[in-house]
Every structure is written in structure tokens, then in C-alpha cells.
Chains A and B, each alone.
Chain A
Amino acid sequence: METYIFYILAGAILIFALLSVTTRRVLRAAVYLLFALGSTAGIYFMVEFLFLAAVQLLVYVGGVVVLIIFSILLTSQINDRLEQPEWLKVMATMLLVVVGAGLSLFVIREYDFNISETAMTAPTVSDIGLKLLSYGPGGYVLPFEVISILLLAAMIGAIVIAKRMKEND
């Protein structure tokens, strides 16, 4: 049963991803992306990684994609269709994608992953919180703080780009 669900979800991810890059309407591409990311969350649920699944839903499905959809609605004409790409370019891209995917697949399949003996229990939110703020071995407080600087910098960057000259307004 689980196997079937997995294949259904994986197939959905693949199909939506493919649709997302082949459709000629921007808004549809964003919506397909939404489905692809949602299906990914489904896989996380399936392996009982609840926290990660929740983050996936909240941040990507709920946040990023919605943001993308908003910005598309604000900036472009929804009815506009993207140009039909040249046949040669499509073929070249296909080639690259197939080769890349084949190479990666082969490499991963060749590798003999050790499956750990002990049953893995999903971490709780409090485990994750403690890890994030721990400064000992295995703690993530430093990356956490680096992210905060990164976010600050990103905000300032956004301001720099968005700020208009007073005279122009």
C-alpha cells in the first residue's frame, strides 16, 4: 500500500514539475509548482517526518509560491503566453536533462546506503528548538545567527533596490 502511495506521489511530483516548465502561461506554471511542492510534502508525511512536512507546507506552499503568484498577478498580464521555444533548443535541453538525470540516478543507485539498525524516531519540535540554540557539538546556534545576518542583509538589499529618489515620487 505504502509503495503505491509513494509511486503516486512521486509520479505527481514529476508530472507537475514537467508541466510547470513546459506550460506557456506563467500563472499556470506557478500553480503546477505549488502542486509539485505539495506532493513533496506528502512524501515527508509518508516517512513520518512531520516537522519537515509542516515546514514544507508552510514555507514553500503557503509562503514562497503564494508570493510568486502574487507577484505574477501584480506585474504581468495573465493572458500573455510565453514564446514557443525553438525546436533545437528543446531537444538540446532534453538531452542535457536526460543525461544529467541518468548520471545522478546511476550514481545514487550504485551507492550502497547503510540502513541504520535502530528504528528512527522523528524529532519533536522541542528537540529541534534545542538543537538550533545549542552551542556544543552538533548545535546549530552559529548557523542560526548567520542566517539572521543573511536575512538582515537581504532586507537592506531589498530596500536598496526598492528605494526611489525622493524627487521621482
Chain B
Amino acid sequence: MSWSDFFLMQQELALILLALVLLVVEISLDTENKHKIIPVANFLFIPILVIGFLNTSTGSLFGDMYITDPTRILMKNILNVGVFLVFLQVSNWLKTQANNRNRISEFYLLIISSLIGVNYLISAGNFLMFYLSLELTSIPIAALAAYEQYKHKSAEAGIKMILSSAFSSGILLFGLSLLYAGTGTLNYGAMAIASVDLIQSMGFIFFFSGLAFKISIVPFHLWTADVYEGAPVAVTSYLSVISKGVAVFVLAIVLITLFGEIQGLWQEVIYVTAILTMTIGNLFAIRQKNIKRFLAFSSIAQAGFILLGLVGGSNFGTTAVLYFVLIYIFSNLAAFGVVSVIQNASDKENIYDYNGLYKTNPRLSLVMMLALFSLAGIPPVAGFFGKFFLFAAAAEAGMYVLLLIAVLNAIISLYYYLLVVKAMFINSNDQPVPKIESDFFARAGLILCTAGIIITGFISWIYEYMLNNSFGI
């Protein structure tokens, strides 16, 4: 193993370096100037994004503990972009809330730790690494969910997340132990899953449930709404796109590279859970009054749509998942960005508080409208293309009933997304949200998201690139 091999681990190493640099910077800042870490973190994150595009070679390290290839690097890049957008959105909140002042750098350090976990999780080549990185992704976020500990809801969100996540880890570990019992190894490469072994299939079911928890697939989704509602908006947006995105990616990786032999089993499982997830997510989303809870259920429904891309296990389906997650990051972060700006300025988070938003904040309303249109999948915004490819993947797999249910759900979702649009543009309000001047970073974040929503669908090479780097059975 030579030094140059470490370049295969470029993204993780750069992130660890960033974390250490931020720790040093934190120490050197005196108490009054803690907020100066915000621009430092934001600008130092840009090289991380660039590094991801430098080296896209294939290889493995540490005796197959760590695997990398262009697809995995692409996945990491997608999620790193998402985290960058979260960073941009969070700065204003961190800076202006008095209670946060002496804990700003901790926020960044925890997110970056979690992101390191995300990167290792994608590159894991062994279930030991897999499990450790999975915990690394979620434990720092559970702490962040309780970041506003002085608020009852935030503390509650933290404890609920830690408890549920411990429970799901238990289930996942039990599944892994059954898999180990059945194959005698934890190494991806050495693990030969055979459809004849009951213990392996059962192990897979437990393993899948543990991972489904992270994606908020019904019936493993119940924690989502409470945690999303209670946690600070920035943490919620991280949970809803990054934590969910990485779980989807890893699920795609293991389903296709490891569990291809038992495709019959997981196809059925995903088929049923996809229907449940879309439908339940939608039905709950309709009744929500709180915008964060609303977006939580909408994100559950979106997870159901994502499963359409996995169900066939084809190259094309995986591409659709990659593409959709990228678009979903832009759309959901744009929506959460607006929610964050408004909550920060006026502490309002109910849907009826958005009544008449257009009159006072036309730009924010437009961004929100585009984001919701994209989530609803209305052409010509990118969300449509994302959903189209997912639907096409289900059609390719020949699952017409599933496709039909998905389409019906898409219509239901259209209804509740339009309700929010209606609230912003049409409903009148005696006390609308006052006019808001957002800061540079928040504005940059929203502009990037909006650009992503509009152009991702039209720039065909993004899709081409993903198609060329995708994988399937």
C-alpha cells in the first residue's frame, strides 16, 4: 500500500482535514467572534466539492474495507453538494439566534462528522464499516436535533431520534448477524448470497428494515414527522435529503451488488412498501398544518417514489434514482430554505402563516412555488424529469399496477402542494409575514437551488453522465 493509494479516499480525507482545520480555527477565535467561523466553513467547503471531481478512479483499500469507483464518487458528490446548500442556508440562523452563539462551530463539526460517515458508508466494502459509518451518520445528527435544547420540541426530537435509531440499529444488526451466520463473512466481495438459504433471506429482511428506517419507508417511518418538526430547520433539511439520500444510495448498492440472487424477494418487499409509503405519506401530508410536518410527510411520499427506481434493479432504474435524488435535493432544500428564512425572521411555521406571502415576499414565494412544483413533478421543472424516469423504470420492469398507483399518488400530491401555493398567492392575511431581507449566504443557497430546479432537467449531459456511471443487475 503506497501513499498514492490514499488519494482514492480523497473526499473522506479532505473532510477530516476540514473538520480538524475548523477545530483549530474555533480555538483561535475568542468568544465574541465565534460567528466568523461561518464564512470560513462555507468557503473551505468549496474545495471539497472540487476535489470530488478530480479523481474518479476505481480501487479498494484496507483489504476491501473501502471500495471506490466513479459511481460511488458521483453519489458522494451529489450529497456533498446537498450539504453545501445546507451550510449556505444555515448561516443566518446560526448567526442571529442568540442561543446559538457559543455553539456555532460545534454545529459545523457535527454536520461534517456525519458527512464523513455518509462518505464512508457509500464506500464501505464490509458490513462492519457499513454499520460503523451508518452510526456515524446518525449519532451527530441526533445531537443536532436537540440543538435548541431550551425548546421542548427540539429536545424531544433529539431523544426520539436517538431511541428510534438505536432500535432500528438493533434490528439491522440482528439482520447482519443472520447474514454472517449464513455466509461466514462480512466482506461484500466474499459474501455469496444464495436464494436457497432461509437464514440469509431472513437476515436480509431485518437488514432491509433497519435501512428502510433511515429512508422513512412505511411502516418504519413513524419517527420522521416528530423529529422533522422538532429539530431546527437546518437539521431537518439535512435529515430529509442527505440522510435519506445516502440510505437510498447504499440500498441501491447492496441490493444490486450483494443481493442480486434474491431479487425475487426484495422486489416483492419493495413493491409493497413502495405502495404503502407513497399512499400513507400522501394521506398524512394532506392533513398537516405545520409546514415542517407537511414537508416531512411529503418527503416520506417522495421516498416511496424513489423505490420505483429500485424495484426493477436495472441499470436504467438506478440512473433514475441517482437523477431523482439530485433533483430532490435541489427541490427539497429550496423549500426548506424558504421555510428556514421565514422561521428565522418571524418564527412562523404554520401553513396558514404563509397566507399572502406573495404580497410581501414575492421572490421567496416564487422559489417556494418552483420547489413545490418540482416536488409535485410538474413539467417543465426538473422534478418532472426525475419522476418521469422513475415511472419509466417501473414501466420497464413491467409493473403496471405499481405504476398506476404511483400515478394516482402523484395526483394526490399535486393537490396538497397546490394548497400551499394557493396559500402563498391567493389567501389573504391580516398579519402576513413581513418583508424579509435575507443575508448573502441564504440568498446564494436559494439561487443555487432554484437554478438546479430549473436547469437540471434541461441539461442532458447530467443525465448522460449518470447513465454511463450507473449499475444494474
- Which A residues are within 8 Å of any B CB, using their own CB? 103-104, 107-108, 110-111, 113, 135-143, 146-147, 149-150, 152-154, 156-161, 163, 165-166
Contact = CB atoms under 8 A, between A and B. Distances in A.
Interface stretch (B130-138, B242-250, B344-352, B401-409): B130-138
A160 B16 contact: no
How many B residues are at the interface, by size bracket? 35 or more
A160 B144 contact: yes
A136 B60 CA distance: 11
B178 interface: yes
B140 A156 contact: yes
A156 B102 contact: no
Contacts of B110: 153, 156-157, 160
B128 A110 contact: no
Nearest to A153: B113
Contacts of B295: none
B198 A149 contact: no
Contacts of A150: 113, 117, 132, 135-136, 139
B116 interface: yes
Contacts of B133: 146
Interface in B212-252: none
Given A140-B128, A160-B144, A149 B102 contact: no
Interface in B69-99: 98-99
Interface string B127-170: 01100110110011011101101100000001000000000000
B181 A135 contact: no
A133 B239 CA distance: 33
Given A143-B129, A157-B140, A107 B62 contact: no
A101 to B, nearest CB: 12
Contacts of B129: 142-143, 146
B62 A135 contact: yes
Nearest to A158: B143
B414 interface: no
Contacts of A138: 63
Contacts of A107: 178, 198-199, 202
A151 to B, nearest CB: 10
A27 B116 CA distance: 38
Given A139-B65, A146-B117, A156-B113, 13 more contacts: A107-B178, A108-B181, A108-B199, A111-B198, A136-B1, A139-B63, A153-B110, A153-B139, A156-B106, A156-B110, A160-B106, A161-B149, A166-B102
Contact of A139 (B62, B143, B181, B198): B62
